[in-house]
Structure 1
């Protein structure tokens, strides 16, 4: 098993260090991660400035770019082999509901998925790294399960995993969930810059709007590890009929 590890909190983040420690004897493990924190960078690629790869003292390699850059560079030139699995995380905070659209952690995993490689994004529900070794133990168990059951053989999928910040013995069994939804984010925070200009900081994420049973929000609140399979197809299939009819009317000049 060849595993590529990435994250969005940077190559020195405790979550990445714990994840590597948990997986280093599961297979042939390589780390290519961002140099700095790149939270909320989603699937962004750096196209207008050069990227550099540097090796840290512990053998990790880091890139002066986004999480998706790291995986993209690794898969298209840095590595001389194709990984069997991409593992991203462990993120400092939840990636549930609408967060997955913005998440650099999910973005790194998704980049691998777009290359046809199975990928997992791991996150802890609360910030602060409490019980990070217990979360890493859960990640190890999931990866070992996939190894034993050959779920990475010839298939590609994208799995989003959120782990409550609890001791291992207090974590409830994994539960497969759909994504919940959040309310709109809080208002931006405005401040005056030293030069007299108004600067803005993005506000905090809103509370859960749809945290009903069956969602990732509900499962993790109950102490379960949430597992959500994701897909990239953003097509609104239910609306195709409506828009097909509208396009036909427009084509006939019935606007």
Structure 2
């Protein structure tokens, strides 16, 4: 099995090292192509206004001066000697739950893989309240990663779909199991923008990343993580709201 690894935290991120260890439980044919620096929150951005540079860091290990989407594109078209069987993106430092996926570079790398017709899985480690800076624990992902991937690697998936996995911020022994759940939704009306001043006295603004209040609906990824389970959510690339098509069609036929 040939596996391509990528992420949005950068090629030197500890989560990518965790992902490689997980992937090597299934194959020795591992390729890495990831951004040369953190690209969190880039979504499905593609670099179009400047050149993208590719650097070889070691055997089957490359970095890209671009986004997670750029990294997958370069991995498939310039780096690998043939298409991979699977693309794994992560392990992200922080949750990609609910509508976070629309911002996520981690999930977007998997989206790019799905667009190419390749089985793609995004993996993220939710940050616990006690985690700070570089000290966060990936223990749940390390212990449960292979347990989640084993069935996902051979489960039939429809075209243009991907899988989004999140690990709860718990010690491995305290994780209750794995749930297949739907995407939840946050209350983003409570988000903040933090204002400050630089050393020269000019104002700047930083988007706050504090916890966003929400009430998890039953059967969602938000509820699964809150209850201590690994969440597994299948996602589709067709964003059409099909139930609205007939009503809109009737409006335009008047």
TM-score, structure 1 as length reference:
0.88
- What is the CA distance between 1:131 and its match in structure 2? 3.9
Contact 1:118 1:156 in 2 (8 A): no
Any idea what the Cα deviations from partners look like across 1:178-227, whole Å, max 9, x if unmatched? 11111125221223345554322123366243412211111111110001
Instruction: Output aligned runs, 1:35-74, within 5 Å.
Output: 35-56=36-57, 60-74=61-75
After superposition, the Cα gap between the structure-2 partners of 1:248 and 1:196, relative to the gap in structure 1 and judged at 3 Å, is: farther
Two-structure CA RMSD over aligned residues (Å):
2.2
Return the alpha-carbon distance in structure 2 between the equivalents of residues 153 and 230 of structure 1: 10
Return the alpha-carbon distance in structure 2 between the equivalents of residues 167 and 206 of structure 1: 20
Return the alpha-carbon distance in structure 1 between the equivalents of residues 161 and 9 of structure 2: 23
Greater Cα offset, 238-247 or 64-73: 238-247
- What is the CA distance between 1:168 and its match in structure 2? 2.0
- What is the CA distance between 1:156 and its match in structure 2? 6.0
Contact 2:31 2:80 in 1 (8 A): no
Contact 1:84 1:152 in 2 (8 A): no
Instruction: Give the counterpart of 1:139 among 145, 154, 158.
Output: 145
Contact 1:10 1:38 in 2 (8 A): yes
Return the alpha-carbon distance in structure 2 between the equivalents of residues 204 and 166 of structure 1: 20
Residue in 1 that maps onto 2:162: 158
- What is the CA distance between 1:58 and its match in structure 2? 7.3
Return the alpha-carbon distance in structure 1 between the equivalents of residues 204 and 158 of structure 2: 49
Residue in 1 that maps onto 2:23: 23
Greater Cα offset, 108-117 or 198-207: 198-207
Return the alpha-carbon distance in structure 1 between the equivalents of residues 73 and 193 of structure 2: 32
Instruction: Output aligned runs, 1:172-183, within 5 Å.
Output: 172-183=176-187
